[in-house]
Structure 1
Amino acid sequence: MSGQPGPEEWTELNREFRLAGPGPAESGEPGRLSRVPVHHGRVVRLGIDRVRFPDGSTGELELIRHRGASAVLPLLDPLPHPDPRIVLLRQYRYAAGGFLYEVPAGIPDSDDESWEVCARRELAEETGYRARELRYLTAIFTTPGFTDEVIHLFAASGLEAGAVDRDEDEFLEVGCLPLSRAVEAVYRGAVTDAKTVSTLLFAHAFLPRAWEDHRPAPPRPSVPWDEGQPSP
Structure 2
Amino acid sequence: MSLDAPRGTGADLVEEWTPEPVVETTTPFEGIIFDVVRERVDLGAGGVVTRDFVTHPGAVAVLALRELEGAPHVLLIRQYRHASGGHVWELPAGLLDVDGEPPWEAAARELAEEVDLTADEWHVLADDVTSPGAFPETVRIFLARGLHEVAAADAHQRTAEELGIRPLWVSLDDAVDAALDGRISNSATLVGLLCAGLSRGRGWSTLRPHDAPWPAREAQRAQRS
TM norm. shorter chain > 0.5: yes
Instruction: Give the direction of change, closer, same or farther, for the CA distance of 1:85–1:198 in structure 2 (3 Å limit).
Output: same
Structure 1: segments with no counterpart, 5+ residues: 1-8, 15-28
Please, which of 125, 132, 139 is the counterpart of residue 137 of structure 1? 125
Residue correspondence of structure 1 range 86-165 to structure 2 within 5 A: 86-162=74-150, 163-165=155-157
Q: Which residue of 2 aligns with 1:203?
A: 196
Give the whole-Å Cα distance in 1 for the aligned partners of 2:44 and 2:79.
40
Please, which of 48, 55, 64 is the counterpart of residue 54 of structure 2? 64
Q: Which residue of 2 aligns with 1:168?
A: 160
Q: Report the AA paired with residue 227 of structure 1.
A: R
Give the whole-Å Cα distance in 2 for the aligned partners of 1:224 and 1:83.
39
After superposition, give the CA deviation of every residue in 1:63-84 in whole Å (9 maximum; x if it has no partner): 1111100011001229xx9741
Q: Do the aligned partners of 1:123 and 1:129 also contact (CA within 8 Å) in 2?
A: yes
SS at 2:106's partner residue? helix
Q: Do the aligned partners of 2:41 and 2:49 also contact (CA within 8 Å) in 1?
A: yes
Q: Do the aligned partners of 2:122 and 2:210 also contact (CA within 8 Å) in 1?
A: no
SS at 2:83's partner residue? helix
Q: Do the aligned partners of 1:133 and 1:158 also contact (CA within 8 Å) in 2?
A: yes
Q: Which structure dedicates a bigger proportion of its chain to strand?
A: 2
**How far off is 1:222 after superposition?**
8.4
Q: Which residue of 2 aligns with 1:227?
A: 224
Q: Which residue of 1 aligns with 2:175?
A: 182
Give the whole-Å Cα distance in 1 for the aligned partners of 2:60 and 2:220.
18
Give RMSD over aligned pairs.
Answer: 2.6
**How far off is 1:155 after superposition?**
0.5
Q: Report the AA paired with residue 211 of structure 2.
A: P
Structure 2: segments with no counterpart, 5+ residues: 1-8
Query: Given the two structures, how large is their TM-score scaled by the length of structure 2?
Result: 0.80
Q: Which residue of 2 aligns with 1:6?
A: none
Q: Do the aligned partners of 1:126 and 1:165 also contact (CA within 8 Å) in 2?
A: no
Q: Do the aligned partners of 1:115 and 1:217 also contact (CA within 8 Å) in 2?
A: no
Q: Report the AA paired with residue 150 of structure 1.
A: T
Instruction: Give the direction of change, closer, same or farther, for the CA distance of 1:114–1:52 in structure 2 (3 Å limit).
Output: same
Count of residues paired in the alignment:
203
